[in-house]
Amino acid sequence: MDELTICKDNFCISTQKEKLDIDAIHEFLSTKAYWCLNIPRNKVEHAIMNSLCFGVYLDDKQIGFARIISDYSTIAYLGDVYVLEEYRGLGLSKWLMEVIMSYPTLQDLRRWILLTGDAHELYRKFGWTEIADPTKWMELHNKNVYSK
């Protein structure tokens, strides 16, 4: 998979895994991300290892993140998307989504999926909608898996 780094002003978005600050990502996900509070560091590492990741940086400081789980042919799941609170309102989330949605190996997929509790308006700007027929979807969800 081709690595990508795009910079604007002092900010960069990169898919280079060696640049990722695993400690910073884990800190955010385990303490501030409502969808995976208390996630163990080894789970974050394993998820990153098996995903296409996009890091957002101010100079060399990691300030945002997103990851994609995909077969690169038919479907992609977008998850763990965040920008640190002190950098919100600068258009970084929108820029991150633009980079993700235009990434070459994620083109011509039949379906994209995500779960969000608070960022519907951001995703709508990129064509996302609510599930048309939720009666076709099923899940097996263990929401307390990290609190054991």
pLDDT, tens digit (0-9, with 9 covering 90-100), for 9-67 = 999 999 999 999 999 999 999 999 999 999 999 999 999 999 999 999 999 999 999 99
Degrees to nearest 5, angle at CA 107 with 104 and 111: 145
How many Cβ atoms are within 10 Å of 91's Cβ, its own excluded? 12
Domains, the chain, in order of start with CATH, read: 5-147 (3.40.630.30)
Report helix, strand or coil for 84. Answer: coil
What amino acid is encoded at 33 in this protein? A
pTM: 0.95
pLDDT at 104 over 80: yes
Report pLDDT digits (tens) over 80-96. Answer: 999 999 999 999 999 99
As a whole number of angstroms, the distance between CA 89 and CA 91 comes to 6
In the block, tokens 């929401």 appear at 143
